[in-house]
Amino acid sequence: MTLKRVVVTGIGALTPIGNNAQDYWDNLLKGISGAAPITRFDTSKFKTQFACEVKNLDLDNHFDRKEGRKLDLFSKFAIIVADEAVKDAGLVEDKVNQDRTGVIWGSGIGGIITFQEEVKGFVEGGMNPRFNPFFIPKMISDIAAGHISIKYGFRGPNFSLVSACATSTNSMIDAFNYIRLGKADVIITGGSEAAINESCIGGFNAMHALSTRNDDPMTASRPFDKDRDGFVMGEGAGCLVLEEYEHAKARGAKIYGEIAGGGLSADAHHITAPHPDGLGALNVMRSAMEDDPSITPESLDYINVHGTSTPLGDVAELKAIRGVFGDHSETLNISSTKSMTGHLLGAAGAIEGIATLLAVKNDIVPPTINHFTDDDQIDSKLNLTFHKAHKRTVNAALSNTFGFGGHNASVIFKKFVD
C-alpha cells in the first residue's frame, strides 16, 4: 500500500515561558528561563525548592467553577492547548469528518495532584472520611484524551499511552502512523503534565534526580555544563494537529511542516539510568530515519536533544549522536530547550516537538542557555548552540525524548514541499 503523507496544521502550547505557542517560541529565541521558587506549596522540607511553573494563567477564563472541579490540572492544561491548536488549524470552521478525527494524548504521571489531595483528605477525614466521586475520572491518565474528544465530538481513534518522559513523542508517532496507514484524516496529539506537588518533588529528590541549586534557580538547568546537578521539573502542555496531506490541501489549511519519521526503541539496561554508550538513543535515531527515503544523516540540520542536565544522560545522548552522524554531527546544530522550560516529563516531547517544527519552519535554532563551564566528558567539537539562537537553513530536524524504564522516542520534521 502507498503510505499517506502527514503534515502539521495546528499547534498549541502552554509552558513555563509562554502561555501560547507564539509566546513560547519568542521566549525560546530570547533565551528566557522559566525557573523560579515554587509557589504551590511550602517547600521548606524539600531539598529542591524551585521548578518551572506555568505563570499568570487564570483558569477561570477557561473553565467555569462547576466544570473545573471535575478536572485535574493536567487535563485543564490539555484542554487549553487542544483548543488553541484546533482553532489554529481551523478544524471547527471547516467541519471535518468527526468519525475520522481522533485524539492520541499522553501524560507520564496523570492526575497526581488529585491523587495526593484525595488520599490526604481521606486520611485526615476523622470519623467521616470520604472520596470525591470524581476522584478516579480526574486522576486516570487517559481522561485528557476523553475530554478533548467529548468537547469537539471527535469520534476517531482515541487513547492515551505512557512511556514516562517519552510519552508525548510516542503519542505523536502513533498519530503519524494511524494517519499514514489511512486509519484517520486528522489526529489531535501531544501531552500534558502537572506534577509540581509534594509527592513528585519529594519522590524525585529521593532519587537524587533534581537540581538542588536553590540559590540560583534560573541557571539550575545546565545541560552539558560541568556543574550540572540534575533536572528542573516543569509543567504544561503541547498539542499538534496532524493531518493527512491531501485532506489538508483540500480544505486549504496552512501547513507548518511535514513529519518525516518516528522511531521507538528500548535501552533494556536500567530502570532510570541511560545505557552508558547511548545504545538505545543511537537505535531510536536510526529508526526514525527509516520512514522517509529523503532523510539521511546528512540531511538533518538540527537536533533538539533530550538534554535534561543530568550527569549521565547528557553524555550518553551525545555519544549516540556521534555514533549515528559521525563527522556530520559537527555540522549539526544541537540544543536543549529544557535549559529554559525545565523538564515537562510526559509533556516534554510535545513542546520540544513544537520547538523543532518551528525551527524548521523559521530557519532558526533555539539556544542552550546556562552554560558556564566546559565538561571534558562532553564532545567539544559538537555545536551545542550555547547562549544565543542561531539562524541557519533547517530543512529537517529531529527531536529526542527518553524515559525511565529505558523508553526512547524520536520524531523528525522536515520542510513542507507541495
- Domain residue extents for the chain: 7-414
Q: Is the pLDDT of residue 199 over 90?
A: yes
The catalytic position among 343, 371, 390, 407 is: 343
Task: Say what the pLDDT of residue 48 is.
Answer: 98
What values do phi and psi take at 385, rounded to 5?
Answer: 50, 50
The catalytic position among 147, 247, 275, 306 is: 306
Where does the pLDDT of residue 95 fall: very low under 50, low under 70, confident under 90, or very high at 90 and above?
Answer: confident
- How far is Cα 160 from Cα 375, in angstroms, rounded to an integer? 39
Mean pLDDT across 195-199: 98
Q: Is the pLDDT of residue 126 over 80?
A: no
Mean pLDDT across 269-293: 96
What values do phi and psi take at 47, rounded to 5?
Answer: -70, -35
Mean pLDDT across 380-400: 98
- How far is Cα 320 from Cα 116, in angstroms, rounded to an integer? 38
Mean pLDDT across 310-328: 97
The catalytic position among 52, 147, 165, 200 is: 165
Task: Say what the pLDDT of residue 129 is.
Answer: 80
Average pLDDT, the chain: 97
Q: Is the pLDDT of residue 125 over 90?
A: no
Q: What is the 3-state composition of the chain as percent helix, strand, coil, each rounded to the nearest 5? A: 35, 20, 40
Q: Are 283 and 271 in contact (CB under 8 A)?
A: no
Q: What residue has cell string 554508550? A: 277
Write the CB contacts of 259 (distance below 8 Å, at least 6 apart in sequence): 6, 7, 8, 172, 176, 242, 411, 412, 413, 414
* Digit-coded pLDDT (tens) for 15-48: 999 999 999 999 999 999 999 999 999 999 999 9
Mean pLDDT across 193-202: 98
Q: Is the pLDDT of residue 1 over 80?
A: no
Q: Is the pLDDT of residue 391 over 80?
A: yes
Mean pLDDT across 89-108: 94
Where does the pLDDT of residue 377 fall: very low under 50, low under 70, confident under 90, or very high at 90 and above?
Answer: very high
Q: Is the pLDDT of residue 200 over 80?
A: yes
Mean pLDDT across 133-162: 97
- How far is Cα 103 from Cα 110, in angstroms, rounded to an integer? 16
52 is a catalytic site residue: no
343 is a catalytic site residue: yes
7-414 homologous superfamily? Thiolase/Chalcone synthase (3.40.47.10)
* Digit-coded pLDDT (tens) for 283-299: 999 999 999 999 999 99
